[in-house]
A = this chain, B = another copy of it.
Amino acid sequence: MSKAGEDEGVPAGQSPPPPLLEGSAAGAKALSKLSTVSSLPGWTKVSCPCCASEQVEPLVLVMLGEKVGPDTKRWLIKLIGTPKKDGGAGLLAHPGKDATGDIIMVSAQRCTLLRAAEELGLCRTYRSGDMEVFSYGDRDNFKDSGNMEAFLTSAERQFIVKNELDGLRAQKDLRVPGLPDNFTLRNRDNIWRKLESVGVIVNTFPLHNPNKLKNLGEAWYSGYQLIQPLDRVNEYFGSSVAFYFSFLDFYTWSLVPPAMMGLFIAYSSGDDQKEIPEAGSQVGEIQEDSGFVISGHMILAVFSMLWSTVVMEMWKRRSASLSYRWGTLNLAERFAEPRPGYRGELGTNPVTGRVEPLFPEWQRGLRMALVSVPVVGLFLGLVVLGMMCFYWGEARVQKLHTDWDSLLTQTLLYAPSVLHIVYTNMLATVYNTAVQSLTEYENHREESAHQNHLTAKVLVFTFFNYFAVLFHIAFFKRDVPLLRKRLASLLIVSQLVNQTTEIVIPYLVDRYVSSPNRNEKEDGSEEDKFRNQGMMPPFPGLFAEYIELLVQFGYLSLFSCVFPLTAVLLLLNNLTEIRSDAYKICKLFRKPFSPPVGDMGVWQIAFEVLSFVSVVSNCWLLVLSPRLQEKCRRGEMSSTDLLLGAVIVEHLLILVKVIIAALIPDEPNWIRKKKEQWEYKSMQALRQ
C-alpha cells in the first residue's frame, strides 16, 4: 500500500505514472517477484490504519471497454477504494501504467479480507492448533492472521475481491461521470452488473501468479508422481477445483479393485474379447462355455454394485476431512448477502435482520414445479422423440435401400444419423440457454443453490442424452451382444476422442497459439502480461469434467457386467485424465474465480443416485444374460422364475446398499466430535 499515497481516496490516476511497471524487465523470476511484491505507490489509500502494509499484491484485474474515458475510470477507482460503510467496495485499486489505460488492478486490505472470511464462515487454525470458525473479534488468536498470504488462500482472496465488487450496490440514484446522460444507476442497482451490461467493464478475472503456477505445475503434472498436490491446488485454484481433483484421484484409486477383478474374470474366461467381433454367432458360443463366464459376470456385477456404494460412502468421509482441512466445513452462505442476481421485494431478513431483497420460498417452489419441471420434461421428451425418429428413419432408409439399391439410397443411409446428431446438438444448445434462464427465474438466494440447480438440470439432460441409446438397447431391444459392442466402442472411442481433445489439442494450442503470446510477454511490461491473461479463453467450468466422470461411473456400474474390462480401461484413462485436466486448467485458460465450497454439491447426489439405478440395470441385464435366456428357451427354467429371482436379488441388493450407506457414517468420528464442540461452544456462547 502507498504510504506516500493520495490524501482523500482520490484516484491514483492523478499521480505521476507509477514506476512499478518500468523497473521490471529482467527474467521470469524477477518478474514474478514484482507481481506479488509491489510496494510502490499508485494504489488507493488504505482506509484503516491497522492494514498498513509494505506490499500490495494485485489480485484481480478489471478490464474496461475501449471507449471508457478517464473520468469514468477515476470514478470507478474511487468507488472501489471507498470504505464499505460509505457504499464502496472497501478494496484497493491501481490504475495501471497510466490513468487512461483500460485496466484497473484490484487488491484488498487486511481488514476487508478478514471480515469477509468471517462472513463466509471459513475455519482457520487457532492458537490451540485446531481448526476453529474464524471470528474477526478474536483474530489475534488465529495463526497467521497478520499475514494474509498465509492466512487465506490466493483463491479465497481473489474470490473475496470479486464478491465485494459483485456486491456493489448504488446507495442512491446517481450518474456515472463520462457516460451518456441517459445512463443512471438507480438506488440499490447492482453497479457491476449494470456497468458490464453497457460495456464499461468488459471482464473481471483473477490474476495468475506465474511463479507459483510454474511450481504447482511441476508438482502436479510434469513428472510421474502418483499423488496430486491437493493442498496446493486448493491454495491456488480454490476448493471447488480442488474437490474435483480430489474426487478424480479418489475415484481413480478406487477403480483398482474392480479393474483387477475385471482383468481376472476376462482372462480366466478369455472369451470376452472374442465375443465382441462375433456378435452374430453369440448364443451358440456361450452355450459351449462352462457356467463360469456368466457366474464370473454375476460376481462382478454384484461386486460392482456394492463397490459403488462403499466408494461413495468413503468419499463422503474423505470429502468431510478435506473440507475440515481446507476450512470450509462450516460455511455460512445462508447468512451472508444474497447472490447479486437475486431479485425480490426489499425487506428485512427475518434471520439476520439485514435489509435485502426477499423472495418467498413457496413462490420459488411453484416456479420450479410449474415451469422448470415441465420444461425439462419437454426437452427430455424431445430427446426420446429424436431417438424414435432416428430409429424409424433408419428402418425406412434401410428398406428403401434394399428395395431400390442406388447410390442415392446408399448416401441416404447416413442421413438419419447425421440428422440425429445435428438435432441432438441443436437441442443441447437450446436446452443450455433455456436452463440458464429457468434457473435465473427460480431466483435462488445462494450462489451455491443457483449453481446446483443449474448443474442438476444440465446433468439430467446430458445424462439422458448419453444413456438413452444404451437403455433403449438394454430395455427395449433386449440385445445384450449389441449392448456389449456399443459399450466397448463407446468406451474406446470416447476415450480416444477425449484424450485427443484434452491432450493433443491443448498441446498444439499452447505451442502454436499461445507461444507467440508468451514471446510477447517476455519483453512486455508487467501490465501487458496481466492484460495478456485476459486474452486467454475463460475457464469453461468443471461441468464437462464431472460429467465425464459420471458417465464413466455410469458405464461401469450400469453395464459393466456385460463388459468386464470397463474398469481397466477407465483406470488407464483416468491416470492420464488427471494430468491432462491439470495441464488444461494451469496453462490454457484464464484463472477461474472459485468460491469456497465444502463438498461436490449436486454431483455427490448424482453419483449416489446412479449407484442405485445401477442395481436395477444390472439385475435386468442378468435376466437378459444369454445363458439364462437360453435355459428358459430350453425349458430348464421358467422365465417367470428367472424374473422373480432377479427381482428378489435386486431387492436384496438395494436393501444391502441402503444398510451399507446407513452404517458407514458420512463423517469421520473426529469431525463429528469437532462439529459437536463448535455447536456446544456456540450454545454456551448464546447462553451468556
Minimal Cβ-Cβ distance residue in B for A676 = B351
Ordered by A's residue number, 29 sampled pairs between the chains whose C-beta atoms are within 8 Å are A118-B687, A133-B683, A135-B686, A135-B687, A136-B687, A137-B688, A332-B683, A334-B676, A335-B676, A335-B683, A350-B673, A350-B677, A351-B673, A351-B677, A351-B680, A361-B669, A362-B669, A639-B640, A640-B640, A640-B643, A643-B643, A643-B647, A678-B686, A682-B685, A682-B686, A685-B685, A685-B686, A685-B688, A686-B686
User: CB-CB < 8 A to A644: which residues of B?
Assistant: 643
Could you tell me the distance between the alpha carbons of A233 and B686 in the complex, rounded to whole angstroms? Answer: 31
A352: interface (CB < 8 Å) = yes
A188: interface (CB < 8 Å) = no
A616: interface (CB < 8 Å) = yes
**A687 contacts B137, C-beta separation under 8 Å:** yes
User: CB-CB < 8 A to A362: which residues of B?
Assistant: 669
User: CB-CB < 8 A to A677: which residues of B?
Assistant: 350-351
Take A136-B687, A647-B647 as given contacts and tell me if A680 and B640 are in contact as well, using a CB distance cutoff of 8 Å.
Answer: no
A651: interface (CB < 8 Å) = yes
**B680 contacts A686, C-beta separation under 8 Å:** no
A681: interface (CB < 8 Å) = yes
**Is chain A's binding surface mostly helix, strand, loop or mixed?**
helix
Take A616-B651, A651-B616 as given contacts and tell me if A680 and B643 are in contact as well, using a CB distance cutoff of 8 Å.
Answer: no
**A317 CB to nearest chain B CB (Å):** 14
Minimal Cβ-Cβ distance residue in B for A678 = B686
**A139 CB to nearest chain B CB (Å):** 11
Known contacts A334-B676, A616-B651; 19 additional CB pairs below 8 A are A118-B687, A133-B686, A133-B687, A135-B686, A135-B688, A136-B687, A332-B683, A335-B676, A335-B680, A335-B683, A351-B673, A351-B677, A351-B680, A352-B680, A361-B669, A639-B640, A640-B643, A681-B686, A682-B686
Q: How many copies of the chain does the oligomer comprise?
A: 2
User: CB-CB < 8 A to A687: which residues of B?
Assistant: 118, 133, 135-138
User: CB-CB < 8 A to A678: which residues of B?
Assistant: 686
By size class, the interface of chain A is: 35 or more
User: CB-CB < 8 A to A351: which residues of B?
Assistant: 673, 676-677, 680
Minimal Cβ-Cβ distance residue in B for A620 = B647
User: CB-CB < 8 A to A688: which residues of B?
Assistant: 135, 137, 685
Could you tell me the distance between the alpha carbons of A651 and B669 in the complex, rounded to whole angstroms? Answer: 35
Which residues of chain A from 315 to 352 have a CB within 8 Å of any chain B CB? Answer: 332, 334-335, 350-352
Could you tell me the distance between the alpha carbons of A282 and B460 in the complex, rounded to whole angstroms? Answer: 48
User: CB-CB < 8 A to A673: which residues of B?
Assistant: 350-351
Minimal Cβ-Cβ distance residue in B for A632 = B640
**A337 CB to nearest chain B CB (Å):** 14
**A439 CB to nearest chain B CB (Å):** 18
Minimal Cβ-Cβ distance residue in B for A350 = B673
Minimal Cβ-Cβ distance residue in B for A368 = B663
**A31 CB to nearest chain B CB (Å):** 41
Minimal Cβ-Cβ distance residue in B for A369 = B663
Could you tell me the distance between the alpha carbons of A361 and B651 in the complex, rounded to whole angstroms? Answer: 31
Residue-wise interface mask of A (140-162) relative to B, using a CB-CB cutoff of 8 A (1 in contact, 0 not): 00000000000000000000000
**A260 CB to nearest chain B CB (Å):** 27
Could you tell me the distance between the alpha carbons of A409 and B644 in the complex, rounded to whole angstroms? Answer: 40
Take A350-B673, A640-B639, A640-B643 as given contacts and tell me if A682 and B680 are in contact as well, using a CB distance cutoff of 8 Å.
Answer: no
Residue-wise interface mask of A (646-684) relative to B, using a CB-CB cutoff of 8 A (1 in contact, 0 not): 010001000000000000000001000100111011110
Residue-wise interface mask of A (173-206) relative to B, using a CB-CB cutoff of 8 A (1 in contact, 0 not): 0000000000000000000000000000000000
The winner among A136, A640, A673 for most chain B CB atoms within 10 A is A640
Which residues of chain A from 470 to 528 have a CB within 8 Å of any chain B CB? Answer: none
Could you tell me the distance between the alpha carbons of A687 and B137 in the complex, rounded to whole angstroms? Answer: 7
User: CB-CB < 8 A to A135: which residues of B?
Assistant: 686-688
Minimal Cβ-Cβ distance residue in B for A647 = B647
User: CB-CB < 8 A to A682: which residues of B?
Assistant: 682-683, 685-686
**A61 CB to nearest chain B CB (Å):** 33
Minimal Cβ-Cβ distance residue in B for A132 = B686
Minimal Cβ-Cβ distance residue in B for A616 = B651
Could you tell me the distance between the alpha carbons of A678 and B688 in the complex, rounded to whole angstroms? Answer: 14
Which residues of chain A from 112 to 148 have a CB within 8 Å of any chain B CB? Answer: 118, 121, 133, 135-138
User: CB-CB < 8 A to A686: which residues of B?
Assistant: 133, 135, 678, 681-682, 685-686
Residue-wise interface mask of A (628-650) relative to B, using a CB-CB cutoff of 8 A (1 in contact, 0 not): 00000000000110011001000
**A58 CB to nearest chain B CB (Å):** 31
Could you tell me the distance between the alpha carbons of A673 and B360 in the complex, rounded to whole angstroms? Answer: 12
Which residues of chain A from 214 to 263 have a CB within 8 Å of any chain B CB? Answer: none
**A119 CB to nearest chain B CB (Å):** 10
**A605 CB to nearest chain B CB (Å):** 10
By Cβ-Cβ distance, the 8 closest A-B pairs, closest first, are A682-B682, A685-B685, A135-B687, A682-B686, A685-B686, A639-B640, A351-B676, A643-B643
User: CB-CB < 8 A to A643: which residues of B?
Assistant: 640, 643-644, 647
Minimal Cβ-Cβ distance residue in B for A335 = B680
Could you tell me the distance between the alpha carbons of A644 and B678 in the complex, rounded to whole angstroms? Answer: 52
Minimal Cβ-Cβ distance residue in B for A360 = B669
Which residues of chain A from 296 to 311 have a CB within 8 Å of any chain B CB? Answer: none
User: CB-CB < 8 A to A118: which residues of B?
Assistant: 687
Which residues of chain A from 602 to 625 have a CB within 8 Å of any chain B CB? Answer: 616
User: CB-CB < 8 A to A680: which residues of B?
Assistant: 335, 351-352
User: CB-CB < 8 A to A681: which residues of B?
Assistant: 686
Could you tell me the distance between the alpha carbons of A350 and B669 in the complex, rounded to whole angstroms? Answer: 12
**A669 CB to nearest chain B CB (Å):** 6
Which residues of chain A from 452 to 481 have a CB within 8 Å of any chain B CB? Answer: none
User: CB-CB < 8 A to A352: which residues of B?
Assistant: 680
User: CB-CB < 8 A to A334: which residues of B?
Assistant: 676
User: CB-CB < 8 A to A133: which residues of B?
Assistant: 683, 686-687
**A460 CB to nearest chain B CB (Å):** 13
User: CB-CB < 8 A to A616: which residues of B?
Assistant: 651
**A178 CB to nearest chain B CB (Å):** 42
User: CB-CB < 8 A to A335: which residues of B?
Assistant: 676, 680, 683
User: CB-CB < 8 A to A639: which residues of B?
Assistant: 640
